[in-house]
Amino acid sequence: MNRTSCYVIARDPAPGTFEVRLRGEIDLARKAELHELIAAYARSMTGDALVDLGEVTFFDATGLAFLLDLRRECRIRGGHFSLTRVPSSTRRVVEIAGMGALLAAERAGRHPGG
């Protein structure tokens, strides 16, 4: 089965920022892609990471693990981790999991250049 990628890395990000837009279903079937995305961040040599969740239609523990891993990598680099356009359904998953601190990093109205 050929599925489109669950992410798009911004072509024209803010200076020093790795910007990515997640889309579709972010679940166990996307685990390998999400690991690739963390590797892309590691290769980017940027400090900050901005994740746009505006096109996410489903989000589970795999997505939570990805966000936590990316945030940890940002902290190791001394960068800032932030989210934007968090859908209410995704927000509920994060809150139910007791990880509301991820939402504290939300930027209003900001999204990758695509």
Mean pLDDT value across residues 55-83: 95
Q: How much is the pLDDT for 101?
A: 85
Rounded CA separation 110/112 (Å): 7
Give the SS3 label for residue 52: strand
Q: Which of 19, 68, 18 is nearest to 47 (CA)?
A: 18
Is the entire prediction scored with pTM above 0.85?
Answer: yes
How does the average pLDDT of the chain come out, rounded? Answer: 89
Q: What is the pLDDT of residue 112?
A: 41
- Does a structural domain hold residue 39? yes
The answer to whether the CB of 51 falls within 8 A of the CB of 84 is: yes
Chain-centre distance for alpha carbon 9:
10
Mean pLDDT, residues 20-48: 95
Q: Is residue 53 part of a domain?
A: yes
Q: Is the pLDDT of residue 113 over 90?
A: no
- Enter the tokens of residue 64: 């939570």
> Residue 48 maps to which CATH number?
3.30.750.24
- Domain total for the chain? 1
